[in-house]
Structure 1
Amino acid sequence: MKNLLLCVLVVSVSLTVDAQIEIPQPSPTTTIKQEVGLTDVTLEYSRPSMRGRTIFGDLVPYNVLWRTGANSNTKITFSQPVTVGGTELKAGSYAIYTKPGESSWDVYFYTDTNNWGTPQEWDDSKVAAMINVPSLEDAMTTETFTLSFDDLSNNGATLGIKWANTYVGVPFEVPTDKMVTSAIDKVMNGPGAGDYYAAAVYYYSSDKDINKSKAWMEKAMSMMKPQFWHYRQMSLIYAKAGDKNAAIDAAKKSLAGAEAAGNADYVKMNKDSLKEWGAM
Structure 2
Amino acid sequence: MLKKFTLLLLIVGLSTAVEAQIKTPQPSPTSKLEQVVGLTDITLEYSRPGIKGRVIFGNLVPFGKVWRTGANANTKITFGDNITVAGQELKKGTYAIYTIPNKDSWDIIFYSDTNNWGNPKKWDESKVAAKATVKTEEIPFSVETFTIDINGITNNGARLEFIWEKTWVGLDFEVPTEKITSRSIDAVMNGPSANDYFQAATYYHTSGKDLNKALEWMKKATAGEDAKFWHLRRMSLIQADLGDKAGAIATAKKSLAEAEKAGNADYVKMNKESIAAWQK
1:82 lines up with 2:83 in the alignment = yes
Aligned equivalent of 1:3: none
Q: Secondary structure at the match of 2:106?
A: strand
Q: How big is the shift at 1:221? A: 2.3
Encode CA deviations 1:148-192: one digit per residue, 9 max, x unaligned.
110111101111111111111111100000111122223333332
Q: What TM-score, normalized to structure 1?
A: 0.81
2-side partners of 1:251 and 1:98: how far apart?
63
Encode CA deviations 1:82-132: one digit per residue, 9 max, x unaligned.
000000011111111101111111101111111111112212221111111
Q: Secondary structure at the match of 1:71?
A: coil
Paired letter, 2:240: A
Paired letter, 1:124: E
RMSD over aligned CA atoms reads: 3.2
Q: Secondary structure at the match of 2:153?
A: strand
Aligned equivalent of 1:148: 149
Conserved 8 A contact 1:61-1:100 = yes
CA, structure 1 residues 216+58, in 2 after alignment: closer, same or farther (shift >3 Å)? same
Conserved 8 A contact 2:109-2:128 = yes
1-side partners of 2:31 and 2:279: how far apart?
66
Aligned equivalent of 1:43: 44
Aligned equivalent of 2:189: 188
Conserved 8 A contact 1:227-1:254 = no
Aligned equivalent of 1:236: 237
CA, structure 1 residues 22+275, in 2 after alignment: closer, same or farther (shift >3 Å)? farther
Number of residue equivalences: 264
Aligned equivalent of 1:274: 274
Conserved 8 A contact 2:66-2:99 = yes
Alignment of 1:115-154 (within 5 A): 115-154=116-155
Q: What TM-score, normalized to structure 2?
A: 0.81
Paired letter, 2:162: I
Q: Secondary structure at the match of 1:129?
A: strand
1:103 lines up with 2:117 in the alignment = no
Conserved 8 A contact 1:36-1:156 = yes
CA, structure 1 residues 20+251, in 2 after alignment: closer, same or farther (shift >3 Å)? farther
Paired letter, 2:103: E
Conserved 8 A contact 1:214-1:241 = no
Encode CA deviations 1:13-48: one digit per residue, 9 max, x unaligned.
7xx669932322211222211111111111111111
Conserved 8 A contact 1:110-1:126 = yes
Q: Which piece of structure 1 moves more, 41-50 or 81-90?
A: 41-50
2-side partners of 1:225 and 1:26: how far apart?
64
Conserved 8 A contact 2:109-2:130 = yes
2-side partners of 1:206 and 1:17: how far apart?
55
Report sequence identity in percent.
Answer: 53
| Structure 2: runs of 5 or more not aligned | 1-9
Alignment of 1:195-214 (within 5 A): 195-205=196-206, 209-214=210-215
CA, structure 1 residues 239+163, in 2 after alignment: closer, same or farther (shift >3 Å)? same
Conserved 8 A contact 1:81-1:175 = yes
Paired letter, 2:36: E
CA, structure 1 residues 28+248, in 2 after alignment: closer, same or farther (shift >3 Å)? farther
Aligned equivalent of 1:24: 25
Q: How big is the shift at 1:212? A: 3.4
